[in-house]
Amino acid sequence: MSAELLLARVLKCTRIELYLQFERILTAEERRAYRELIHRRAAREPVQYILGETEFMGIPIRVTPAVLIPRPETEMLVDSVIEYAREAACPLRILDIGTGSGCIAIALAKMIPEAMVTAIDISNEALEIAVANARLNNAEVTFLAGDIFQIYRELPRPLDIVVSNPPYISQDDWEQLQPEVKNYEPASALQGGDDGMDFYRRLAKVVQELLAPQGALFLETGYNQARAVAELFEAINFQTLIRPDLNQIERVVIARRGKVEGDKG
């Protein structure tokens, strides 16, 4: 698949169109360009970075090594927010923490057009990509630069929804990551401290100042983390729900002050 995507880029066509010209002989320039891309992929550079783009929930997202490559698991996080928003009786204020490429915030702004979506990231370089992606998709998102734990009192509050795919890779897991991730993607967006739980602990200390009384928190978690994350918020009187991804790995934690239907917590 990667080889086809790279060849399609060289030939300026779609993957499907490749099959319509499979007998075509490449020119010397096309062979040179294709060879360069193959060498980059052989060095374990992700194909999304080589192409400079990917898709998330059907929308185009530009990516560079300044931002994480959107994962299918994160679509489950967004789907959970959308499901919740459909039941709301009024426009929602949504905050995406650690927006990176902006994929979560942009998808929510496109799919919940009545919502007021704000996204924050500590990386100015990432925010440049996110702003460009919002323009690309004609999405209305307010982007803020800064550390959420330093400026949260300056944000428009209260918020109805806080959503985040935060850094959650533990130190042990970091050592085991594939080269495509460890050598190319931004470590600051992946590493979550010794046990991967640093962000969740810090958020639990401030979340009640961010959320409206009936607000909800949506968090992506790493493998085998969801139960521990849920317990952090149960300790401050939130009701929690854990949702698995398509591989049946507990992936999304939803936390609310009120009762969460289908609660496993």
Q: What is the dihedral of CA 169, 174, 178, 183, to 10 degrees?
A: 100
DSSP code at position 67: S
Residues 4-24: pLDDT tens digits? 889 888 887 877 778 777 777
d(CA 15, CA 7) in angstroms, rounded, equals: 8
| pTM recorded for the entire structure | 0.91
Average pLDDT, integer, range 93-107? 97
Residues 70-98: pLDDT tens digits? 999 999 999 999 999 988 767 799 999 99
Average pLDDT, the chain: 91
- The percentage of the chain sitting over the pLDDT mark of 70, rounded to a whole number, equals 97
CATH code given to domain 67-256:
3.40.50.150
Kindly state the tokens that stand for 156: 């428009």
- The percentage of the chain sitting over the pLDDT mark of 90, rounded to a whole number, equals 77
- For the chain, which residues make up each domain, given as ranges? 2-43, 67-256
d(CA 108, CA 110) in angstroms, rounded, equals: 5
Question: Amino acid identity, residue 216?
Answer: A
Question: In the structure, what pLDDT confidence band is assigned to residue 259 with cuts at 50, 70 and 90?
Answer: low
Measured CA angle at 237 (ends 233, 239), to 5 deg: 70
